[in-house]
Amino acid sequence: MARAGRRRFLAAAAAAAPALAAAQGAGAAAAAPPLLRAPRLQPGDTIALINPSGALHTRAPYEIATESLQALGFRVREAPHLRARRGHLAGSDEQRAADVNAMFADPGVHGLLAMTGGAGGNRMLPLVDYGLIRRHPKFLGGFSDLTALLNAVHAKTGLVTFHGPLGATEWNAFSVEHLRGAVMDAQPMLLANRPDKGDLLAPRTDRITTLRGGVARGPLLGGNLAVLSSMAGSAYWPRFDGAILFLEEVNEYIYRVDRMLSTLKLAGVLDRLAGVVLGAFTNCGPGDGSYGVLTLDEVFDDWFRPLGVPVYAGAMIGHIRRKFTVPVGLPVEMDADAGTIRFLQPAVI
């Protein structure tokens, strides 16, 4: 290559490097698909139970999930491989993905609900038919390891998915109220904690802590921190530019939470956000025999205060009894001083 040509090539490469790094950090070079909302669920609709991640080993959770959904007025169908098992997984990758594809393709099914979380959802993402899902948008719900499928489906199709109750979780009045409002009544929900202090003078749980005040708007993206960080740089990561990031976690040592947040920072995610909502970090402690570790509060301060965007912690999201139904991908407004998330439009049509 001639010297002048080489000089022009190097200059062009240098100019393109920041954009390339940003695209790689975002996990998707292509433009995000337009927002897509599923039809609202109605009494008499059929909900398919799927198991995209871990296996269940007892019968009672299936019975409880079915009875709970029937009490909401739904018909219930088990996906063909719902009770399959392969090690810790609910069947092979092919079986789990086939159930997702088949239930989206079936015109008699109006929504898909995951039975449980666990692990393994990432493994089947390449086998999901995202074009099919975009042609047949439906309710898709779950949380924890379902973070992988919820975000992948939104990133590839634009469909708003739902981080909320699993089939095997507790169907209490608070959780049912928020699920019903978001996906059946199509309400522009306001997600605000309701601490239950009982006979105490001040509530000890479901408290809001404002790390940095302010109001922000953007698409709501996120879920379980470990699962989300494990997707870093992949084609199944959504675009985080201007997003409101929500995170929850369970049973992780604090140093691991710190390391996973560093992954989001190094991937460029944290620097592109409009705001942050931290849900429950359940049983996330220092670990046995640990000395001098940072507290969870200090880890959050280190990573989120310097961002210069609104941040609050304590939202009723995650591995807790009473939980919000959170629409992944929907434009929302967060108020870090009030500790609220407001839908800017209904999450379903």
pLDDT tens per residue across span 322-348: 999 999 999 999 999 999 999 999 999
Residue 8: per-residue pLDDT: 44
Structural domains of the chain, count: 2
What is the identity of the amino acid at 170? E
Q: Judge whether 39 lies within some domain.
A: no
Least confident of 167-176, 213-222, 266-275, 283-292: 283-292
Task: Answer whether 198's CB lies under 8 Å from 210's CB.
Answer: no
Q: Judge whether 7 lies within some domain.
A: no
Distances, alpha carbon 278 to alpha carbons 47, 134, 239, in Å: 30, 30, 19
Distance in angstroms (rounded) separating the CA atoms of residues 325 and 323: 7
E-strand stretches of the chain: 46-50, 75-78, 111-114, 139-142, 161-163, 190-192, 209-212, 215-224, 244-250, 275-282, 311-313, 326-328, 331-335, 340-343
Task: Answer whether 245's CB lies under 8 Å from 275's CB.
Answer: yes
- The domain of 145 spans 46-183
Does 107 share its domain with 173?
Answer: yes
Q: Judge whether 253 lies within some domain.
A: yes
Question: Pairing between strand 244-250 and 275-282?
Answer: parallel
Distance in angstroms (rounded) separating the CA atoms of residues 9 and 65: 60
Residue 80: per-residue pLDDT: 98
Does 176 share its domain with 53?
Answer: yes
Residue 32: per-residue pLDDT: 87
Residue 292: per-residue pLDDT: 84
Does 174 share its domain with 56?
Answer: yes
Residue 318: per-residue pLDDT: 97
Task: Answer whether 347's CB lies under 8 Å from 37's CB.
Answer: yes
Distance in angstroms (rounded) separating the CA atoms of residues 280 and 238: 22
Q: Annotated active-site positions, please?
A: 144, 248, 319
Question: Pairing between strand 326-328 and 161-163?
Answer: antiparallel
20 has pLDDT over 90? no
Q: In this structure, what CATH number is given to the domain that contains residue 67?
A: 3.40.50.10740
Task: Answer whether 154's CB lies under 8 Å from 219's CB.
Answer: no
**What percentage of the chain has pLDDT greater than the value 70?**
91
Does 96 share its domain with 149?
Answer: yes
